[in-house]
A = this chain, B = another copy of it.
């Protein structure tokens, strides 16, 4: 999965009908700059499966793994290629040899 932050919601009236009724979220990809997680400048449009909203830090599954977020074996031909799989509450990191919990919200 990639780590990202939800920065928007993408609206479209003209769209391929293979995944109706799912919110398409605009997610800014996060990278690591020293000890900080910061946006890399990349974005991805991911379908939501768990009620993510603007401002949430999320883990986004991609490829056939993303399809599995919604999937049953018979939806093989859905066009899902990126899906929000987790809303991140915190990241446990190590600082000065100790494990520290960094809250996200």
Q: Would B86 and A61 count as touching, CB distance under 8 A?
A: no
- Cβ proximity bits A21-33 to B, threshold 8 Å, 1 near / 0 not: 0001010101111
Closest CB in chain B relative to A35 CB, distance in Å = 8
The copy count of this chain in the complex is: 5
Dominant secondary structure at the A interface: strand
Q: Would B76 and A26 count as touching, CB distance under 8 A?
A: no
Contacts of A71 in B (CB 8 A): 77
Q: Would A11 and B92 count as touching, CB distance under 8 A?
A: yes
Chain B residue with Cβ nearest A100: B8
Contacts of A50 in B (CB 8 A): 14-16
Interface check A105, CB cutoff 8 A = no
